[in-house]
Amino acid sequence: MSQFMLLSLEYFSQPHAAYQKLSMLPGFVLLESSDKNMGRFDILSAYPYDQIKLFADTRDKIKELNRLSEILERTSYGLELPFQGGAIGYISYDLGAELQGIKSVPQSNLHDMPLLDIGLYDWAIIVDHHLKKVTLFAANEHETTQSIIQEIIALWGNTGNSISHFVVKDDFFPLISKGNYEESFYAILNALIEGRSYQVNYTQPFHAHYEGDAWGIYCTISQKNPVPFSAFMRTPDADVLSFSPERFILYDQGELLTSPIKGTMKRSANTLEDEFLKSELLHCDKNRAENVMIVDLSRNDFGKIAKAGTVRVPRLCVVQSFNGVHHLVSDVEAVCKDSLSPLMAFLSCFPGGSITGAPKLESMRIIQEQEPYSRGIYCGSIGYFSRHGRFDTNIAIRTVTAKNGVLHLAAGGGIVIDSVCSDEYQECYTKIAAIINGLKTI
């Protein structure tokens, strides 16, 4: 058993002031449950001791992924912490597509972004919002770790109240016209009629220009729009801001959980109207059908990696409410085969079905035919892979890539045979409203 260190730090009910000082450190990552009712832990770290990146021109991607899997071979400390050293970062949708032989053209400003950007960390601060407890974990495996920990302790106790300055200079504007959206919608509808797919998740990209530090944007939006799977990453290539309500896969000592979201309804400030909208979503045949399709896809994905007879659906089409929208959410559980490493189990199911459609591979081909740009980090996954046999990852929806003064955002929805074009188009704006509204007062 490797040596490790545990230290207790002060708990802050409003933690962004503490995170602020660490946010400027190289390789800073924050996985945050800003909705503390649905989520429990925040995990943050910096100063990775190694970085693994895959690009479009990386020759043997499978070899590099196998190397990462070997690095993450299990190390047990006998602790009850969710992260005990390992990998934190993102896996883009485009990596999943390329592994299936599907390639798309990136937006010009994002052409040099890695398909995968994973930092290896031997220390982390874990904030437990249920127990109101902060633990600094460090595995004593590298010479620089001790000096890093001393710096982190000093920064944590020296918190300020000001959030980094930023200015969003214009509204988010779509990169494709409404007419082009309609053309793609009806092309997808024809593909459904031809029987190529049952459901296709079609998305459109948006841009806004900004100045300043994207960390300030992240703090402002997350405080107004708390969700259980937020994330912020500071990389040399871009800053990544995720406000995702959706878990992709939780793996805990072989037990698997995925919680696909499919079905969306806007919210109302009027309580009675909001309850009506919630009920309308719950009893909408179309939204329930979309959700059940993705649940079946998730069951099939888990069926490939699970022990026989362990796949089950404990929750089907339950309403979860967030600041801006109501969603239909389901849970699918299973027990992973012992022969599969956690990372290989993840990749076997990646990308998530809720952002592709069903069946997955053909839906991804249709997406490539109709979407003018590759998705990048959006619709990929952000999370951690701990060396003690646990990982937790989100579906990177409501996710912004901040690069070269541009905020890259995208939104979409599942198109089925009875979808209405105007409704699907409006749903894109409903989904990004929480981000846009979070910035309107600035």
150/145 Cα distance (integer angstroms): 9
Integer angstrom CA distances of residue 20 from 9, 23, 30: 16, 5, 11
Instruction: Look up 246 and say whether it is catalytic.
Output: yes
Name the active-site residue from 32, 98, 224, 262: 262
Q: Which of 246, 333, 371, 427 is catalytic?
A: 246
Judge whether 403 counts as a catalytic residue. Answer: no
Which residues are the active-site residues? 246, 262
